[in-house]
Amino acid sequence: MAQELRRGDRPVGRVVELFAGVGGFRLGLEAAGWEVIWANQWEPSTRRQHAFECYISHFGSGVHVNEDIDKVLDEIDAGRREPIPDHDLLVGGYPCQDYSVARTLSQAAGIEGKKGVLWWSIYRILEDKRPRLVFLENVDRLLKSPASQRGRDFAIMLACLSDLGYLVEWRVVNAADYGFPQRRRRVFIVAHHLAGADPAWAGPVPWLYEEGVLARALPVRPADDGVVVRLDGTDVPDLVLKGHPARLTQEFGRGAAGTPFLTGGVMWERRVWTRPVEPAYEGPRRVLGDVLVPTEEVPDRFFIPPEQLPTWEYLKGAKREPRRAKNGHVYFYTEGAIPFPDPLDQPSRTILTGEGGATPSRFKHVVRCEDGRYRRLTPVELERLNGFPDGWTDTGMYDGRRAFMMGNALVVGLVERVGHVLREAMDASRSAALAVWMARA
């Protein structure tokens, strides 16, 4: 077995972090006892690498790489760079992209994804390293993308992970459902490498509701009282992913009205079980008002001039307006209202990357102060909504860029909760591996 890293007397699992951003994954995992030994962060569209600068300002330079991950892996394959170190857990939050397989069916001996699509960088590392655990985060749109073939991209991911020997569980998680002060909705994906062995489980549905990492970290119950839930392992799969990923690229979901992938699920050997689930959380809860700084500490630039308020109210209000298309066709543009100001006794809406800046916007948060003035949220308040320490992004970035980083970040506390259960899963895996080794000795 690989040598254990230790922090004091406590064993620590080794983590490789991809698409690291400003370090939300690392903050949550280190709080759960993990050790990040290699990380990659690269912003292709900007000259100044603000996220990476923020990351190393808190964690040191270490073995953290600020280059295009595709280029890094190409250089490793060519022998021009040291390989990524062995690790127990691979993590990353990455964009929802087109994951289709570029290789044609006539060339289907291998898998070749489109260049620059970040999922295929993850795949290359998994193919080479086979870490015991994988923890990925994405927007929940992943489960139904693309619009022309609902669920195809996620089906390709699942098929690839299955072919590499992974059991996969996923869950759509709203952070506010587990007590956090932001309604941030994401899909979490956890994969367990079983090295050719069958999983030690009572069945896929018990894994979804009781035994899996996500079930233990973020408890759920059936969302529909009419759903039949068998806990004896006899459930037949809801679908089976057949064919090479190139075939899935061409055929999966074609003509379907919706995605087959629901808010929770398990996949093993390309067999998929998926159910609608809802949170089963009874703990403490925080709201937007809990993260606000005192009004007297808010810089003047965050207050909205009174003459701008009608514009803000219009943008956030309901609309049904006639508009004319380029071809002359007249149609009605409609949208619902967004609360204005944002209620302080509820979790906030999701932070978006366009949160920063003083320009009136439909989607930026606005709160009303005790003195009747209206203002936008400060960078510190945005950091608090994601669970970062105050001033985390105050590393040479301007306000709008700090807001952009929080729009791209994840909720640190959710990662910590999952990280603790991942540690338990890794320890159980080690114990099982040791038992096998001792039986063979």
Residues annotated catalytic, as ranges: 96
What residue type is assigned to position 214 of the chain?
L
> CB-based contacts of 164: which residues, under 8 Å, 6+ apart?
123, 126, 127, 130, 193
Q: How far is the CA of 48 from the CAs of 42, 66, 236, 376, 426, in angstroms?
A: 10, 11, 52, 26, 38
DSSP letters of 320-355? EEEEE-TTS-EEEEEE----SSPPTTSPBPPP-TT-
Burial, 236: exposed, middle or buried (Cβ in 10 Å; 0-12, 13-18, 19+)?
exposed
- Asked if residue 170 lies in contact with residue 190, where contact means CB atoms within 8 angstroms, the answer is yes
First and final CA of the chain: distance in angstroms? 14
- Asked if residue 259 lies in contact with residue 250, where contact means CB atoms within 8 angstroms, the answer is no
**For residues 425 and 66, what is the distance between their CA atoms, to the nearest angstrom?**
31
DSSP letters of 96-122? -----B-S-GGGTTS--BPTT-HHHHH
In whole angstroms, what separates CA 274 from the centre of its chain?
19
- The tokens of 30 are what? 């280190």
The DSSP output letter for 182 is B
User: Residue 401: what are its φ and ψ, rounded to 5°?
Assistant: -70, -35
Residue with tokens 């370090």: 23
C-alpha dihedral sign at 345, 360, 46, 141: positive
- The tokens of 310 are what? 């009608």
**For residues 275 and 236, what is the distance between their CA atoms, to the nearest angstrom?**
13
Question: Do strands 319-324 and 239-240 pair parallel, antiparallel, or not at all (unpaired)?
Answer: unpaired
